[in-house]
Amino acid sequence: MTQSVVVQGEDMEPNCIGGRITGLKARAVLVDMEEGVLAEILQGPLRQLFSSTQLISDVSGSGNNWAVGHHTYGSVYREQIVDQVRRAAEHCDCLQCFFLIHSMGGGTGSGLGTFVLKLLEEEFPEVCRIVTSVYPTAEDDVITSPYNCVLAMKELTEHADCVLPVDNQSLVDIVGKIQHMSHTGKPSCVIKKNSTIISGQGGWLDQMFSDAFSKEHQLIRADPKHNLYLACALMLRGNVQLSDLRRNIDRLKPTLPFVQWNQEGWKTSLCSVPPVGHTHSLLALANNTCVQFAFGQLRERFVKLYRRKAHLHHYLAVDGMESAGFSEALSCLSDLIQDYTHLECPLMPNAPRLSIAT
């Protein structure tokens, strides 16, 4: 019953899931302001899933410029995007959510992607919006990526219901580890995905739970255990019992600091069907104050450029982009960091309960 329309921004290619798929079409709208990547998808292993009517593209890309994606292409493609999304939504008998996937560092995913997010909010205010945002590594070759990221983050903060940040550096580290393991031939190969873990065979159930909270297995570079959990969802798949879940929560709880007002902030789910090719899997989604550090580093990189006004003119030359946009985005990010920091401050005494005159 759960249905989502996936709006894909940009170069992010879906994984090949193997096997032939016929007669199914993805509930998705694919947007890129150049043709290359979309053309590849139409010829790739998942080509049957998509038809060219689901694509929206232009020829020249956004040149790693958030303002071009957001303002220039935003105003040109507005109607077309709304139309396409509406058409996809009409195929759902019970639309639950929009899932937006984009990168933060370039111009199209970041700029136009967040423009689409705002459009979705205007056009479908009751449908929730979950965004997966891929953050660049510190050594990213897009020089203006800190600008693009910070400008996009303001939009995410204001218009998304939930953001799942993914750091490319973490992905690189994980891939490195997998390659290392497959070379050394370690038997219980563990593939990690964000707070997502796909663990190998052998009933290493408890290990899988421990891993989900360790810093090596996060999809952003951060250590959740040494920061504060606001809430945590565990989604377990495969032949696993509720009691396994409960036992592991009880086992790990003492090592996991939870904010005082949400000591039981767990949401759990079980699905007996494992992901293809695995016996079981665990996805941990955490709202944790550890994100503030990654955001702090991003702010530093932004400020370094911004202080010198480097590349600013490329942005300010774009119709609709004002210089205030930069300072506002910066202060929005600072506020966000501060919000997370404040949560970690020594607890204020509990607010006194309402008293009733007797």
Ligand X SMILES: Nc1nc2c(ncn2[C@@H]2O[C@H](COP(=O)(O)OP(=O)(O)OP(=O)(O)O)[C@@H](O)[C@H]2O)c(=O)[nH]1
Return residues touching other proteins (CB under 8 A): 1, 93-94, 96, 230-231, 243, 259-262, 264-268, 350-351, 353-356, 358
Of the pair 147, 229, the CB lying nearest ligand X is at 147
CB of 358 to other proteins, least distance (A): 6
Q: Say how many C-beta atoms besides its own lie within 10 A of residue 55's C-beta.
A: 19
Q: Answer whether 238's CB lies under 8 Å from 276's CB.
A: no
Say which entry of other proteins, Mg ion, ligand X, none residue 244 contacts (CB below 5 to 8 A, set by partner kind): none
Of the pair 204, 266, the CB lying nearest other proteins is at 266
CB of 110 to ligand X, least distance (A): 6
Residue of the chain from 4, 81, 140, 155 that contacts ligand X (CB under 6 A): 140
- Could you tell me where the DSSP H helices lie in 22-144? 36-43, 66-67, 74-90, 113-123
Of the pair 219, 290, the CB lying nearest ligand X is at 219
Say which entry of Mg ion, other proteins, ligand X, none residue 74 contacts (CB below 5 to 8 A, set by partner kind): none
Q: Residue 160, SS3? A: coil
Q: What is the DSSP letter of 235?
A: E
Q: In whole angstroms, what is the distance from residue 211 CA to residue 154 CA?
A: 32
CB of 154 to other proteins, least distance (A): 18
Of the pair 43, 355, the CB lying nearest other proteins is at 355
- Could you tell me where the DSSP H helices lie in 193-289? 205-213, 242-252
Does residue 196 touch ligand X according to CB under 6 A?
A: no
Of the pair 62, 194, the CB lying nearest ligand X is at 62
Of the pair 136, 325, the CB lying nearest ligand X is at 136
**Binding-residue total with Mg ion (CB under 5 A):** 1
Q: Answer whether 28's CB lies under 8 Å from 100's CB.
A: no
CB within 8 Å of 27: residues ≥ 6 apart: 3, 4, 5, 6, 88, 91, 92
Q: Answer whether 10's CB lies under 8 Å from 103's CB.
A: yes
CA distances in angstroms from 89 to 3, 15, 82, 125, 180, listed in the order given: 10, 24, 10, 13, 43
Say which entry of other proteins, ligand X, Mg ion, none residue 350 contacts (CB below 5 to 8 A, set by partner kind): other proteins
Taking CB under 6 A as the criterion, which residues in 1-20 touch ligand X? 10-13
Question: What is the Cβ-side half-sphere exposure of residue 251, based on CA atoms within 13 angstroms?
Answer: 13
Q: Which residue is nearest to ligand X (CB)?
A: 106
Which two tokens mark 110?
């970041």
Of the pair 127, 343, the CB lying nearest ligand X is at 127
Site residues for ligand X per CB under 6 A:
10-13, 32-33, 61-64, 103, 105-109, 134, 136, 140, 142, 145, 168, 171
List of residues contacting Mg ion (CB under 5 A): 61
